[in-house]
Amino acid sequence: MKKIDVLYVGIMLVGAFWAFIVTSNSEPISRVTPCKLVDIIAQSDKYISTDELARRLMSDDPTLTLIDLRNKQEFNSYSLNGAINIPLQDLLNKQYVDIINQDVQTVIFYSNSSDLAVKAWMLTQRMGYSNNYILKGGLNRWVETILRPEEPSATATLADYEKYSFRKAASAYFGGGSVTGESVSKKPALHIKRRKKAAAGGGCD
Amino acid sequence: MGPLFPTGAIGDELNMLIGFIIGIGFGFLLEAAGFTNTRKLAGVFYGYDFVVLKVFFSAAITAAIGLFLMNHYGLIDLNEIYYPKTFWIPTLIGGFIMAFGFIIGGFCPGTSICAAVTGKIDAMIFVLGAIIGIVGYAFTYEPLWEHLRGTGKMGKVDIAHWMGISDGTFILIMTIIAAITFFAITVIQKRVTAKRDYQL
């Protein structure tokens, strides 16, 4: 072989070794490294309270996307208005990427408690997605605090009473209070627009 | 970021223009490298000239390494890149037919058009034959070929996944095979050309 041939083969081998080495630690660079993930978990403000959610829902905040992580059956029996049902195991499906990976909407995960939402939130952080939050306490706390708020004791502070009066108002708004939460009419979830991709053409030599 | 066309970064017109420019470059380089000479291609099969094999093998590996690394560093999204589904039986048959065409005619589809443009009469006839073949296939597709075309269906696969190894490992194996092949064909070429006096 000529010298130049040896050089070309050498360059190809270097490239191939490079490709081989980057697959052996096969984490794509776009994902968050474990070290960074620990930082994110420790620092960020990942919870949203039921009061905050109620306030935003009552002011018809259009930037809110609610994601119900429970299964379809539970979702159909009761859920929050306008929520999208994405069972946790389907969360990373390609069809939902546009919902959870964007920086316009505030995405709020919830299930009956916080458990599934925490898992979902961890997954999205791992993928490097932002603007995802957990509804603290999930639907159980939603019912406890918003739909059926408890009257504070006589010795409670003024702030507690203010919170109570807000919750009572919210309860009336969401059809809770002494009433059960069943009468909530379901608003259809927003239609999700996806980027339309042009079909790639085929070719040969 | 990429690929530019399927992700909508560039439109139809620019896509065509870029394709046109690359096409001209490809044709020019085929001619410059002497690939429009039928002996160059036939030489692979007779063992006196392996340039074509070297070029296409190293081009495939360069592209594989380049695409893989660009995908890894987020410059291109491989999922958006078109590659056809695999039907192994018709592919195998087609491969044989194409190989015989290579040996008999001395052109591949790309070089035949380049050679026809440079005025080689055999290349013009080769292109005419290709056109007759295409038209003939199109008109006899339903009665003769439709069944065969769908046999050996494997879906959209690539060899690395099919073998259950990572893309990087596969690229490394292919590159080592290429390096060994390059060395082996140099030896073969030396022996064959020493025996007979082939003139290009």
- Listing DSSP states for A101-150 in one string gives S-SSSEEEEE-SSSHHHHHHHHHHHHTT--SEEEETTHHHHIIIIIISPP
**Whether complex ipTM tops 0.90:** no
Least CB–CB distance from B73: residue in A21, A29, A200 = A29
Give the count of alpha carbons within 13 A of B165, CB side only: 12
B178 touches chain A (CB under 8 A): yes
Tokens representing residue A80 in the block: 């929050």
Among A110, A134, A176, A171, CA closest to A163:
A171
B176 touches chain A (CB under 8 A): yes
pLDDT at A185 over 60: no
How many residues belong to chain A? 205
Q: B148 to each of A19, A200, B7, how far by Cα in Å? A: 37, 25, 34
pLDDT tens digits for B63-90? 999 988 888 887 888 777 778 888 889 9
pLDDT at A183 over 50: no
Cβ count within 10 A of residue A68: 27
Per CB-CB distance under 8 Å, the chain A contacts of B183 are 1
Taken in order of first residue, the domains within chain A and their CATH numbers are: 34-183 (3.40.250.10)
Below-70 pLDDT ranges, chain B:
1-2, 196-200
Cβ count within 10 A of residue B157: 12
Among A89, A98, A78, CA closest to A174:
A78
**Lowest-confidence region among A31-35, A47-51, A56-60, A68-72:** A31-35
Per CB-CB distance under 8 Å, the chain B contacts of A7 are none
Tokens representing residue B42 in the block: 């036939």
In chain B, count H helices and then E strands: 9, 2
**Dihedral sign of CA atoms B91, B97, B100, B101 in order:** negative
What's the one-letter identity of residue A128?
A: G
pLDDT at A178 over 60: no
Query: Rounded CA gap, A75 and A83, in Å?
Result: 9
Among A119, A47, A111, CA closest to A78:
A111
Give me the pLDDT at residue B28, please: 92
Cβ count within 10 A of residue B17: 12
Query: Rounded CA gap, A157 and A177, in Å?
Result: 22
pLDDT tens digits for A63-116? 888 888 888 888 888 888 788 888 888 888 777 888 888 778 888 888 888 788
